[in-house]
A and B are shown apart, each in its own frame.
Chain A
Amino acid sequence: MKNRWIALYVENEVGVLAKVSGLFSGKSYNLQSLTVGTTEDETVSRMTICVMSDDVTFEQIKKQLNRMVEVIKVIDLTDVPIHMKEILFAKVLGISAAEKQEVFQIAQVFAVEVSDVGNDSVLLECKLTARKNNELVALLKSRFRKIEVVRGGAVAIESVSISDR
């Protein structure tokens, strides 16, 4: 069992997202994240999908996706060079001035932006790999009483020359 990544080109039509996600729930595939948006061709959407599965199930998932009429192309990104990023907002709430300084330091270390500051709270805007985001959330959780996190799921694209995932 491990995390695997798929880029999926689909028709940009009503109901396609529901159909793709319905396939995952209907067949008990373990969907970790799914993002979708239009491409340079607005009749086509591209999804970035992360699933947790074994080899056999993953082969089956790709075949089942390929079989859908609305799916134009399935690309397995699991073992190819890609750039992958996820947008994440983390709000740290109810903190003292000293704690605020600590948040700023963490922001520096992780190279994320402080996009808003209040009396006793700070908002971080992060554009990291999903793994780095996980680490950041874990750290914030261990250091502070109250945090609020919203994340968008990863988007990925094949590399031009270097890999960053």
Chain B
Amino acid sequence: MDITGRKLFVKALQEEGVDTIFGYPGGTVTDLFDELYRQDGIEVVLPRHEQGLIHEAEGYAKSTGKTGVCLVTSGPGATNIITGLADAHYDNVPLVCFTGQVPLALIGNDAFQEVDIVGMTQSITKYGVTVRKREDLGRIIKMAFHIAGTGRPGPVIVDIPKDIQTTAGPAEYPASVQIRGYKPNDTVHIGQLKKAYKMLRAAKRPLILAGGGVNVARANEKLLAFAEKTQIPVVTTVMGKGAVPTSHPLYVGNSGMHGKYAANMAVSQCDVLFSIGTRFNDRITGDLNEFAPKAKIIHIDVDTASISRNVVVDVPVVSDANLALEKLLEWAETKDTEKWQAQIAAWDRENPLEMRRDHGMTPQMIFEHINRTFSDAIYVTDVGQHQMWATQYLELDAWHQLITSGGLGTMGFGLPAAIGAKIGNPAREVVCFSGDGGLQMNIQEMATAVACGAPVIICVFNNYYLGMVRQMQQLFYGKRYAATCLRRRKSCPKNCKGPNEACRPYTPDFVALAESYGAHGIRVEREDGIQAALDEARTYRDAPTIIEFMISTDEIVLPMVKSGNPMSEMILK
């Protein structure tokens, strides 16, 4: 018997095992919402803005490994998710986003709330399609879930015209699909891998560089086993942090623009760089000609197009991280890397990662308390200085995961992603780190967190500035703080050089703002208040808590490599 498109839509979600959908209603999707209303298995989360919605779906997907599902209306609903699509595309987050569309006959007429969302998002989605025939609906939804979640994961758009939703058609939802143009790689070329391993075995100063792909593939344990067996030290990218436990003796630290001195030195001096799950983006390599100048490079990645694109590699291996590591583990033998490890340790002693302790509350102190406080937590960050400090100072392992916007660097990501992570992991604590700038980009999601009973802890690092940009102005632009002070008023002098007695109060008052949402607010001015604030926030199980940490304005993220410079040229002080 035939059923309507809207019924098939819900059936498809059920068969895909979807438990949560992030949805914001509107004219072209009311039928779908009505159908969702009539069932019980799938929870519908109503955010307060579609950008928040899609970051929530990302947080849910990144923290659970499941595909995040979004449902928004046509026109402005669809355009509001574009930033999130780009974010998910760069960070390989599996999402299926359903957008409503005007009825088929109106497409192309500039109808009310019509936009060509599939056309607009072609370069930032893994796949996108408008359903043009009711009988295609089931196959297309199946395809969408298959494409989003396999190979190198990514966002997929399914645009469903309103009349397709109400038209009757086949009731079947296919169990599988064959897509002739889509064959994710599920094998590994043993010959190439052998070559890679031989090269690694012959190395004197071997180094593993682990990228976000290791975390996406959830290949952490295998990577750790491989590193331990071979005794090869590990550095990570920002997205790869946590690929091996940060407390492990073989773990050096993050490399890249704000990487640890020892990690960047290790990359500069290693003779074989075994890289896995990274696309060698410019924040990792710096000046390409000077990147790992002494090393032969092995590169393992699921995506052929990521290989030999930014960095020319000596041994490319197209493979899923798990698959390659499984094979490598069969061959792995213990290497003597003691001297090399000692060299790396010496670099670390030379320039350890630390902030001064004689001058008020620093971000490092906050993270030290965080590290001591949470035994099982998901950490989520926004974008800016606080994000870099988080990636430098947070301790991660199997029980402490980090979620951050790496590729796109989307301010406003943190709060909604944390809410999504909490929804996907109700039993775990979720802590969000945000800036006083970025938190305001999706602050309306406080209401979503309250409504969903998602007691996330939001640590705002209030430095009164768009700190990450201010840092560049401080170092490279003669302290001309163009449009970065968040306390600036019309009455301020044009050439202000930083905070002084005449500064006006910060708006908003984050504590009062939290309370107005029915959430909790705590302000911390000094180090001795950090622990009490964290302990208090953990007692609130009903609603989120904003802890506002008043940190110094001129704290900067160090070490730092100026964009485009070689990684060995670090600004350390």
Which residues of A approach B to under 8 Å, CB–CB? Answer: 10-11, 13-15, 18-19, 22-23, 26, 56, 59-60, 63-64, 66-72
- Chain A residues near B129: list those with CB within 8 A: 13, 15
| Choice from B123, B130, B303, B304 contacting A26 with Cβ under 8 Å | B123
B130–A14 touching, CB < 8 Å: yes
Complex formed: what's the CA distance from A102 to B455 in Å? Answer: 86
CB-contacts of B111-132 with A (<8 A): 118-119, 122-123, 126-127, 129-130, 132
**B309 at interface by CB-CB < 8 Å:** yes
- Chain A residues near B247: list those with CB within 8 A: none
B305–A69 touching, CB < 8 Å: no
A67–B132 touching, CB < 8 Å: no
A15–B181 touching, CB < 8 Å: no
Complex formed: what's the CA distance from A69 to B118 in Å? Answer: 14
A67–B179 touching, CB < 8 Å: no
| Choice from A14, A22, A64, A70 contacting B181 with Cβ under 8 Å | A70
Which residues of B approach A to under 8 Å, CB–CB? Answer: 118-119, 122-123, 126-127, 129-130, 132, 147, 179-182, 303-305, 308-309, 312
| 28 A-B pairs (CB sep. < 8 Å) | A10-B181, A11-B181, A14-B130, A14-B132, A15-B118, A15-B119, A15-B122, A15-B129, A18-B122, A19-B122, A22-B122, A22-B123, A56-B308, A56-B312, A59-B308, A60-B305, A63-B304, A63-B305, A66-B305, A67-B303, A67-B304, A67-B305, A68-B181, A69-B179, A69-B182, A70-B181, A72-B180, A72-B181
Which A residue's beta carbon lies closest to that of B152?
A: A67
- Chain A residues near B147: list those with CB within 8 A: 69
Complex formed: what's the CA distance from A13 to B304 in Å? Answer: 25
- Chain B residues near A71: list those with CB within 8 A: 181
Instruction: Answer whether A69 and B181 are a contact pair too, CB < 8 Å, given A60-B309, A63-B305.
Output: yes
Complex formed: what's the CA distance from A127 to B312 in Å? Answer: 42
Closest CB in chain B relative to A25 CB, distance in Å: 9
Complex formed: what's the CA distance from A60 to B130 in Å? Answer: 28
The list of the 8 closest CB pairs from A to B, nearest first, reads A63-B305, A69-B127, A72-B181, A26-B123, A69-B182, A63-B304, A19-B122, A71-B181
Closest CB in chain B relative to A129 CB, distance in Å: 30
Closest CB in chain B relative to A60 CB, distance in Å: 6
Complex formed: what's the CA distance from A26 to B122 in Å? Answer: 10
- Chain B residues near A67: list those with CB within 8 A: 303-305
Taking A60-B305, A71-B181 as known contacts, 19 extra A-B pairs with beta carbons closer than 8 A to each other, sorted by chain A number, are: A11-B181, A14-B132, A15-B118, A15-B129, A18-B119, A18-B122, A19-B122, A22-B122, A23-B123, A26-B123, A56-B312, A59-B308, A63-B304, A63-B305, A66-B305, A67-B304, A69-B147, A69-B179, A72-B180
Complex formed: what's the CA distance from A14 to B308 in Å? Answer: 32
Closest CB in chain B relative to A10 CB, distance in Å: 8
Complex formed: what's the CA distance from A58 to B181 in Å? Answer: 20
Complex formed: what's the CA distance from A11 to B126 in Å? Answer: 16
- Chain A residues near B180: list those with CB within 8 A: 72
- Chain A residues near B123: list those with CB within 8 A: 22-23, 26
Closest CB in chain B relative to A41 CB, distance in Å: 11
Complex formed: what's the CA distance from A68 to B305 in Å? Answer: 11
- Chain B residues near A56: list those with CB within 8 A: 308, 312
- Chain B residues near A18: list those with CB within 8 A: 119, 122
Closest CB in chain B relative to A77 CB, distance in Å: 19
Which B residue's beta carbon lies closest to that of A68?
A: B181
Complex formed: what's the CA distance from A13 to B136 in Å? Answer: 13
Closest CB in chain B relative to A72 CB, distance in Å: 5
Complex formed: what's the CA distance from A109 to B267 in Å? Answer: 63
Complex formed: what's the CA distance from A116 to B474 in Å? Answer: 72
- Chain B residues near A69: list those with CB within 8 A: 126-127, 147, 179, 181-182
Complex formed: what's the CA distance from A60 to B118 in Å? Answer: 24
Complex formed: what's the CA distance from A68 to B182 in Å? Answer: 8
Complex formed: what's the CA distance from A69 to B308 in Å? Answer: 21
- Chain A residues near B303: list those with CB within 8 A: 67
Complex formed: what's the CA distance from A70 to B179 in Å? Answer: 9
Complex formed: what's the CA distance from A13 to B179 in Å? Answer: 14
- Chain A residues near B119: list those with CB within 8 A: 15, 18
Among B122, B126, B127, the one with the most A-chain Cβ atoms within 10 Å of its Cβ is B122
Which B residue's beta carbon lies closest to that of A43?
A: B180
Complex formed: what's the CA distance from A18 to B126 in Å? Answer: 15
Closest CB in chain B relative to A24 CB, distance in Å: 11
- Chain A residues near B122: list those with CB within 8 A: 15, 18-19, 22
- Chain B residues near A70: list those with CB within 8 A: 181
- Chain B residues near A10: list those with CB within 8 A: 181
Complex formed: what's the CA distance from A26 to B132 in Å? Answer: 27
